[in-house]
Chains A and B, each alone.
Chain A
Amino acid sequence: MSLIALCVAQGDQIDQQIVQQYVDDQRASRGVLESKHTNNWAVLVSTSRFWFNYRHLANALSMYRTVKRLGIPDSQIILMLADDVACNPRNAFPGTVYNNANRALDLYSNNIEVDYRGYEVTVDTFLRVLTDKVDPALTPRSKRLMTDQNSNIFIYLTGHGGNEFLKFQDAEEISAFDIADAFAQMWETKRYKEILFMIDTCQANTMYSKIYSPNVIGVGSSELDESSYSHHADSDVGVAVIDRFTYYNLEFLEKVEKGSKLTLQDLFDSYDPKEIHSHAGVRTDLYHRNLSQVLITDFFGNVQPVEVDTFDDDDDYDK
């Protein structure tokens, strides 16, 4: 059944029924409905090179700041930036990346860890990170996605894209099928429990349309034949500093704190096409839970297991 589903998925048309059947079978066999995730990872990728794509790097760095603020440590974040804008000679504010013209927040603080940068950010590297098909002797652990079957992963892509493709560094493209197959490999090798796949490019919704693995939520910034726009520019930086979809996401996420009870449904309800200037889409047919019961911190924050200490007397530890 799974083989048939895979073969069919390679074709132009995905038979929705077969996919749904496959997904239900997989979920049942894995028994995922009962357990909760135990760790959170984030893969944040900005695929654009050159100074005028400052906003894509600001997008990725804004998400980096958000997930760090909500608790995911650097060791569980893979940040891939295709270019360096902070120390770019064209940057009037050296060592700084802003995502707002009010310049209130510096995204490039003194505690930043960029795992893949510059020419390292390629389609090949990205897919290897997802599927962990790396040379273990040569790849340091900080550059590997060491997830297990209880991990929730937040994958965020931003850059220039189109109908079922995303451009990497103006030289190559990744297609929606590549991403779908990578996720399928991750499912087969038990590398995730749930994935939140968010993408902010032109015609972004097409990028998640080919996914056929269980427990994936797809969020895109614009429909087919729709462009995603930048929000505003900073006249001293000289270029646009943030994209609309990411801007409105951040506006909502700024209200989220570590113990917040806000849900993904609240986040998706806050999307207003009149403000975003494009129709953001959400794909939930592969996902089993009700979005109004999924906390934002299930993907953007980190699980910190806390055991309540009922001992009153410290001497009891010797027992």
Chain B
Amino acid sequence: MAMVLLSLVVQPVVFGLEGPHNPYRETLDVVPLPRNLVLTTFAFDLMSGSVESSDIEPNPDVLANLTRYGLFPRTVGQIMASTKTREFHLRFVQGRWDSEEWGALPYNGQYAGGTGLEIWAWINGGSDSDQLWYELVNALSGLFCASLNFIDSTRTTENPISFKPHSHSVDLSSLRLFHGALPQETVCTENLTPFMKLLPCKGRTGLSSLLDGHRVFDSRWQSMSLDVVPECDQAGCSLRMSQKVDVVLDTLRALNRQVNNYVPVPVPKEELLCDMSKPYHSDTTCFPWPMIQNLKWKISDLFGKAVQGKCMLGQTQKPELTEEDYNVRLNLTKAWSISRTGGHVISSFAEQATVAIQDHEELDLSFDTQNASFVPPIQSPPIYVQRSMTGRGQQNGGMRTSFRNPSLASVTFIYFESLPWYMKPYLSTLKFVVDGIETDSVLKEINYRPFLERVRGTSIELTLQVPPNTTVSLSYDFDKTLIYLAEYPPDANRGFDVPPGILTILDKDNSDIYTLRTSSLLLSLPTPDFSMPYNVIILTSTVMALAFGTVFNILIRRFVYDSALEAEILLRPSLKERLSARFLRRKSPSSRNSEEAKKYQS
């Protein structure tokens, strides 16, 4: 076993790759954000072994014969092979990315998703692709402990133009793209656990040892993404898996955790930091100051522990480490000073430092500043977008999205919305308002697929061009539907989640340079009184029983003339006579009908 491990480290050529490529690379980027927040971006890149192909331009379909996985997880590879998936992209996101405060998304949004779960995949199965898509999401639901199996035809969109496959050069005509989103899905430790188990070191050593569900899910925004794409060169094709975990953590909250373990205790009066510029500031009124300037925190404060040594799997031993071999990269300003325990500094400038992890040594980095608001410049995103619902009542509503272009150049983008089938938009009410004037010039193209009740939802893709320094507001109306009783979820009065809108900015070559998602929305549909089925059944059964019983009696009951019985009845004194006999003490009367009765008595 030890011999095999040694050969893995010394001869990466076992994996069939050209040159000294590491099949596994992990990096962490740390960037302080305004208001005492910090963005930590973990990236894990893994390559499988390759499948040789003699074609000049190898077709990724040869990956169906992949057998040498190396460190690449076999489960993922086999799921892809059995469902004929060329590539797939999976996103788990919770929280909200504040574009105004934090700027552009990491990696230009390429690896960010919408709230909840999102998955899209290119499947090369021809006419069977629908069934293969369902098999893919079901298999991944078991692998990631997520309810991906709920992605059925009502939540799937086919071939949205917003997404481009990784392998551009390959013939795409046989491929079908499927996209599904589950905005109401929660992301928790049971999703993080299998995510980490796909990595070679499985969260024991290396940067993945920092990932702890108690910290990752206690953040302002977190995104876990998994992208598996084929990579082909002249020699052959292999699979590349990129896993990213982006977390925006609150450093004050993390530091406070050590004091109180999160027990919510009010801050004592002496420790309150107040904004004294407010007119109402006094001894009894305090507007909390948004941040503190004097800040000192460590990686182990944020994540609960330091980096537990280096992940040795898939790494070559290099005598000289260059900047490309970094494990931790810090983007800072002059106001921040860093100290470390363990690790090996590769480069250190005022604005950026790179550190490599040493084997068997813990790495902890300490960040110290007197001016915490002096953070690296925020890169403004090319566009800001806000989406909300308008209207009131349970019959119809409206959707309003506003796009703001802050730059001096016009921006062209595709805005993709996938609405559930019970939300029925009227495309005739689609309106664009720029500076208070209704205009159509921003709209370049519409790709619209209307809904089919209970089969698929609406998918709208608008290609828009927003002029520089302008805000465009898009709105349309929709109808709400009263759905069948069985289609309501158990907590129906909460509402139904509408998937986020996906904005993809293209450049002149039609390749996407920035991707952004709006927030998901909560649609309140008219909900019935769920006790009514019981009430109706009881009422109907009662009415039926009474009606049936009465009619049955009338039809079936026969009245039989019984002479002996009639005589007995006639002989009985009437009530009046009995009472008068009792109270007036007359002798017991005989029935006035006694003569008649005697007629029958024979």
Contacts and interface: CB of A to CB of B under 8 A. Distances in A.
Interface in B252-269: 261-264
A13 to B, nearest CB: 24
A87 B95 CA distance: 12
Interface residues of A, number: 36
B479 interface: no
Contacts of A118: 147, 185-186
A113 B490 CA distance: 23
A27 interface: no
A92 B263 CA distance: 7
Contacts of A113: 145, 190, 193-194
Interface in A217-257: 236
B490 A170 contact: yes
Given A87-B94, A171-B490, A94 B217 contact: yes
Contacts of A110: 189, 192-193, 203, 212-213
Interface in B235-274: 261-264
Interface in A80-133: 84, 86-88, 92-96, 103, 106, 108-115, 117-120
A147 interface: no
Interface size band for B: 35 or more
Contacts of B478: none
Interface in A28-87: 49-50, 84, 86-87
A92 B491 contact: no
B218 interface: yes
Given A95-B217, A120-B149, A140 B186 contact: no
A137 interface: yes
Interface stretch (B30-38, B64-72, B135-143, B387-395): B135-143
Contacts of B214: 94-96, 106
A115 B144 CA distance: 9
Contacts of B190: 112-114, 117
Nearest to B137: A138
Given A108-B213, A170-B490, A138 B188 contact: no
B254 to A, nearest CB: 11
B147 A140 contact: no
Contact of A86 (B189, B212, B262, B263): B189
B145 A117 contact: yes
A138 B135 contact: yes
A141 B135 CA distance: 13
A181 B94 CA distance: 41
A143 B144 CA distance: 11
A140 B138 contact: yes
A140 B189 contact: no
A94 B254 CA distance: 12
B473 to A, nearest CB: 30
Contact of B145 (A49, A114, A170): A114
Nearest to A109: B189
B150 interface: yes
Interface in B204-231: 212-218
A129 to B, nearest CB: 13
Given A108-B213, A170-B490, A95 B143 contact: no
B163 interface: no
Contacts of A170: 490-491
B143 A140 contact: yes
B143 A84 contact: no
A142 B147 CA distance: 13
Given A170-B491, A236-B264, A95 B213 contact: yes
Interface string B474-492: 0000000000000001110
Chain A CB within 10 Å, residue with most, of B134, B147, B194: B147
A119 B184 CA distance: 10
B145 A95 contact: no
Nearest to B131: A137
B217 A93 contact: no
Contacts of B145: 113-115, 117
Interface in B187-205: 187-190, 192-194, 203
Nearest to B263: A236
A92 B262 contact: yes
A19 to B, nearest CB: 32
A119 B142 contact: no
A137 B139 CA distance: 9
A273 B569 CA distance: 63
Given A94-B218, A110-B192, A111-B193, 14 more contacts: A50-B491, A87-B94, A92-B263, A95-B216, A95-B217, A96-B214, A108-B213, A110-B193, A115-B145, A138-B138, A139-B138, A140-B138, A142-B142, A142-B143
* In the A-B complex, the 5 residue pairs with the closest CB atoms: A140-B142, A87-B188, A171-B490, A94-B218, A169-B490
17 contacts: A49-B491, A86-B213, A93-B261, A95-B216, A96-B214, A110-B212, A113-B193, A117-B147, A120-B149, A120-B150, A137-B135, A139-B142, A141-B142, A143-B141, A171-B489, A171-B530, A236-B264
